[in-house]
Amino acid sequence: MEMGCMWMRRVRTSAVASFSLLSLHPPIPSSSSLSLNPSPPRSLPLFLPNRRSASASASASASSSPPPPPPLVSAGDGCPDLGGCEGSGIAARGPKVLLKGMRYAELEKWVQSQGYRPGQALMLWKRMYGNAIWAHSAEELHGLNKDFKKMLSERAELRALSFKEIRAAADGTKKILFSLEDGLLIETVIIPCDRGRNTVCVSSQVGCAMNCQFCFTGRMGLTRHLTAAEIVDQAVFAHRLFHDEVGSITNVVFMGMGEPLHNIENVIKAADIMVHDQGLHFSPRRVTVSTSGLVPQLKRFLHESNCSVAVSLNATTDEVRNWIMPINRKYKLSVLLQTLREELRHKNNYKVLFEYVMLAGVNDSFEDAKRLIDLVQGIPCKINLISFNPHSGSKFKPTPEEKIVEFRNILAEGGCIVFLRLSRGDDQMAACGQLGKPGAREAPLLRVPPQFEMALNAAI
């Protein structure tokens, strides 16, 4: 899933004609083909998608070469291969432990194991994650005991990422490139909004195994999961690099490179660290983990975390979803939606966010809108309509803006809470679905169902 600041308009049934801009939301879109005007009072809105991928230009520097990805799609039914690197990643750097890979209780235990008091763990935690310090080295740990700092510099590593460069889009969205200990590259997006709501869109994997057909990241295949430390450090870097320029980073979306719930262990841990009230202290409602629909992992996440969930839906029939999101061949729409219906009964005041990337002639018909209303019945939810962000090699075209608005109006009249998300950062391939850069081996594009060939070939 991916990044950039986004503008959303919330539409209520009773206010279909006069939309009010309620909030600027930070996910990830871009839509170069739509004339997205970021000035608020416009009659027609725009959007953004849910995941990020990197773009071709995004990675001139990213050309450095991830190892060849494992196969993305099984030879059999086309379902993504979810095996392979479960639990992989780097939890330590040589003989040093990575402190950002620890929950607070783990840090406290480790500090005690080194012969120091638990109180020093708290002081360390606050300097790594708060007090406008966001320490990346022992030298920045002002006020800590000298021996304790010496021990940390010898046995621990505070930083999990190496900063490479920032690419700034014309709309203020920034894409940050980081290199990992093993030389791989990831991308993180900062989406500033003028209402003080600044979002960081973090990656959870190098590449992605899901092979969603509309996503540039999906072309990469999966190289490996990120560790919890590598995920958390993206949020820390966002504070360090941009706090003075844009103010506090208020929201986190796991919509960058990767399917977060494919790396659920590290994602749950990273989210726990991010919401700790003595550290980064993000509100759980402002930490959103997006998924393409891994049902067992989704259930687990809803049980174990209070953070928010977004589901990348993007189709109203299994026929279309099987094609554009192969994970649907394993977990059908009915199974995914029934799971949400049942699990959300046990949550108070909790809404899932459905993301719906509008693809011309594929999922944007009047019938799709009607079916979508029926599909989400009984699920406390909001729906984000996102304009498709074209990228090289893509067969899809964005739905025209006026048609998106019609689609939105149908949903609103049907009682849905709908947002139109404005794409951000597309000129730097920082928008939704544009992150990353495929290597020499790309994930396969799937056969286009005959009934959609004409729509894909049609000029808009």
- Would you name the residues annotated as active-site residues? 187, 432
Amino acid at 275: V
Side-chain-side CA neighbours of residue 408 (13 Å): 36
Sites for ligand SF4 among residues 93-122 (CB under 6 A): none
Closer to ligand SF4 by Cβ: residue 258 or 361:
258
Q: What angle do CA 413, 418, 422 make, to 5 degrees?
A: 135
Return the residue of 30, 31, 33, 53 that touches ligand SF4, per CB under 6 A. 53
- The CA–CA distances, whole Å, from 134 to 73, 160, 161, 197, 228 equal 40, 13, 13, 20, 16
> C-beta of 85: minimal distance to ligand SF4 in Å?
15
| Contact status: 189 vs ligand SF4 (CB under 6 A) | no
Task: Please report how the helices 295-304 and 333-343 are oriented relative to each other, as an axis angle in degrees rounded to 10.
Answer: 10
Token pair belonging to 430:
């920082």
d(C-alpha 357, C-alpha 288), whole Å: 17
d(C-alpha 134, C-alpha 127), whole Å: 6
d(C-alpha 295, C-alpha 302), whole Å: 11
> C-beta of 138: minimal distance to ligand SF4 in Å?
36
Return the residue of 36, 156, 210, 275 that touches ligand SF4, per CB under 6 A. 210
- Pick the stretch among 213-221, 223-231, 268-276, 389-397 that binds ligand SF4 (CB under 6 A): 213-221
User: Total residues contacting ligand SF4 (rule CB under 6 A)?
Assistant: 14
Return the residue of 31, 188, 198, 217 that touches ligand SF4, per CB under 6 A. 217
> C-beta of 311: minimal distance to ligand SF4 in Å?
11
d(C-alpha 379, C-alpha 382), whole Å: 9
> C-beta of 166: minimal distance to ligand SF4 in Å?
21
Return the residue of 73, 202, 208, 309 that touches ligand SF4, per CB under 6 A. 208
| Contact status: 78 vs ligand SF4 (CB under 6 A) | no
d(C-alpha 429, C-alpha 391), whole Å: 8
> C-beta of 292: minimal distance to ligand SF4 in Å?
4
Strands 251-254 and 199-201: parallel
Return the residue of 9, 10, 25, 51 that touches ligand SF4, per CB under 6 A. 51
Return the residue of 5, 215, 294, 416 that touches ligand SF4, per CB under 6 A. 215
Sites for ligand SF4 among residues 245-304 (CB under 6 A): 258-259, 292
Q: What angle do CA 291, 320, 325 make, to 5 degrees?
A: 30
Q: What angle do CA 355, 269, 89 make, to 5 degrees?
A: 95
> C-beta of 204: minimal distance to ligand SF4 in Å?
9
| Contact status: 1 vs ligand SF4 (CB under 6 A) | yes
d(C-alpha 273, C-alpha 374), whole Å: 37
Q: Measure CA 63 to chain center.
A: 22
| Contact status: 353 vs ligand SF4 (CB under 6 A) | no
| Contact status: 212 vs ligand SF4 (CB under 6 A) | yes
- Residues binding ligand SF4 (CB under 6 A): 1, 51, 53, 208, 210-212, 215, 217-218, 258-259, 292, 312
